[in-house]
């Protein structure tokens, strides 16, 4: 299937508008902190959520609102997570009510999300006033402002869109995300909002989203902390006029493949923007006994603080990689494992058959000084394969999180 990347983010699909503004939740007097995405018509919708036992009030409300598989708008604020607050659900509902009143839709058709500091009372009156101003200004040019408005410690905007042919129709998928810290499965390791003009039933949309999440958003780690407010949602309004995807088959497979492409790209952007990060790390595992083992090994390596610190120092300390593989849950051998390190500066083998090999430290340092580093692990024990993404661990991570609240 041929995919074309296009501009427009979440507004690239037909029938979607968006916008972002500053309503005053964040202390900054310049940063936007309120975003809305809306469809001209009702949508099939699905979402996946954090598995943290402590979760934000918006999760509770969105789960309820999406119980019928339908939605038409998203509202998200940054600067306050609306988590661990006695009145959190009431305020999340008020956010839905404000959007519903402004757009002329049902409150139950609103996906609500919040991100920021945990345990701080949410000034929902500021959000309600912001909605009154923002809703009339939503436009097809508003995707970038919306993407800016959901950022917290992010340093990079994360928005993309892809276009492809499906059942004789042109279908577009747009996405935006925020995520920089508290990034670790399970699910969804951040906030992600996806839009599409594909015609697809809620059941098939949910199936596609869950399949994609397993290979993208759930295969990244920045710091081993699973956030309380993680969510990835998708709305499909059907305006592309493709034949309705209402069962498994080639059409669902094609849609899922396109969705996976953009989800993987969004996941990579999140990992690259890890708090304080200077390098994107990609761990590719092949030859594992099975795919679940490959996934666990890849995540174990990418999550290791010692591996991450070595990558920051451009130190080819391959023993840390073997150590992280060794404490991974599962049954497999170590004495067949090969490890290579690769980047734009070249490729070097640092381990063969579970033991060290002679290599040039100078060459290795050059390889590890690039912005994107691949840790390639061949277990030579089967056909299982997986890829995970992360980042290096730097001094700045501690600086950012040492005074995040104060």
CA distances 163 to 14, 32, 173, 199, 253, Å, are 11, 29, 7, 14, 15
d(CA 60, CA 252): 29
Which of 189, 228, 387, 394 is catalytic? The answer is 189
* Contact (CB, 8 A) for 74 and 272: no
Joined together, the tokens standing for residue 23 give 């309503």
Q: Mention every residue, 6+ apart, whose C-beta is less than 8 A from residue 96.
A: 61, 65, 75, 107, 108, 110, 112
**Torsions phi, psi for 330 (to 5 deg):** 135, 170
b/e map of 146-183 (b: 16 or more CB within 10 Å)? bbbbbbbbbeebbbbbbbbebbeeebbbbbbbbbbbbb
Rounded Cα–Cα distance for residues 391 and 214 (Å): 19
166 in Cβ contact with 198 (< 8 Å): yes
Q: Is 256 one of the annotated active-site residues of the chain?
A: no
Type and span of the H or E element at 42: strand 34-49
Tell me the helices (H) and strands (E) count for the chain, helix number first.
11, 15
Q: What is the distance between the alpha carbons of residues 274 and 379, in angstroms, rounded to a whole number? A: 28
Cα separation, 12 vs 175, whole angstroms? 9
Cα 350 to Cα 366: distance, rounded to the nearest angstrom:
14
Size of the chain, expressed as the number of residues it contains? 406
CA-CA distance, 194 to 162, in Å (whole number)? 11
Ranges of H-type helices in 226-272: 250-272
Distances (CA, A) of 244 to 148, 205, 250: 33, 11, 12
| Helices (H), ranges, 109-249 | 124-134, 143-149, 202-213
> 82 phi and psi, to 5 degrees?
50, 50
Kindly list the catalytic residues.
Answer: 189
């Amino acid at each position: 299937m041929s995919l074309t990347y296009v501009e427009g983010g979440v507004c690239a699909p037909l029938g979607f508008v968006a916008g972002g503004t500053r309503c005053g939740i964040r202390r900054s007097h310049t940063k936007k902190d309120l975003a809305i995405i809306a469809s001209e018509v009702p949508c099939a919708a699905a979402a996946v959520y954090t598995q943290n036992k402590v979760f934000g009030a918006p999760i509770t409300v969105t789960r309820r609102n999406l119980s019928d598989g339908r939605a038409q708008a998203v509202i998200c604020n940054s600067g306050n997570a609306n988590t661990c607050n006695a009145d959190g659900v009431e305020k999340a509902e008020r956010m839905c009510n404000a959007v519903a009143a402004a757009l002329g839709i049902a409150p139950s058709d609103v996906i609500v999300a919040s991100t920021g500091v945990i345990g701080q009372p949410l000034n929902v009156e500021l959000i309600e006033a912001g909605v009154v101003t923002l809703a009339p200004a939503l436009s097809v040019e508003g995707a970038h402002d919306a993407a800016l408005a959901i950022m917290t410690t992010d340093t990079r905007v994360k928005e993309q869109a892809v276009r492809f042919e499906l059942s004789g129709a042109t279908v577009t998928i747009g996405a935006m995300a925020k995520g920089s810290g508290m990034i670790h499965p399970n699910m969804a390791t951040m906030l992600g909002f996806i839009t599409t003009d594909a015609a697809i039933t809620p059941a098939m949309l949910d199936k596609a989203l869950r399949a994609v999440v397993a290979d993208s958003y759930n295969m990244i780690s920045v710091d081993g902390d699973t956030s309380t407010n993680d969510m990835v949602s998708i709305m499909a309004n059907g305006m592309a006029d493709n034949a309705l995807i209402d069962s498994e088959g080639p059409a669902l497979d094609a849609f899922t493949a396109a969705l996976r492409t953009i989800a993987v790209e969004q996941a990579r952007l999140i990992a690259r923007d890890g708090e304080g990060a200077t390098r994107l790390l990609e761990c590719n595992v092949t030859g594992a006994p099975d795919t679940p083992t490959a996934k666990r090994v890849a995540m174990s390596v990418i999550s290791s603080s010692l591996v991450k610190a070595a990558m920051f120092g451009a130190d080819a300390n391959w023993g840390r990689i073997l150590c992280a593989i060794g404490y991974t849950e599962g049954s497999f051998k170590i004495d067949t494992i090969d490890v290579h390190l690769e980047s734009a500066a070249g490729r070097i083998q640092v381990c063969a058959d579970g033991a060290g090999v002679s290599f040039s430290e100078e060459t290795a340092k050059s390889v590890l000084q690039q912005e994107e580093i691949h840790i390639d692990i061949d277990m030579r024990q089967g056909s299982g394969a997986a890829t995970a993404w992360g980042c290096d661990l730097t001094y700045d991570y501690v600086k950012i999180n040492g005074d995040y609240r104060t």
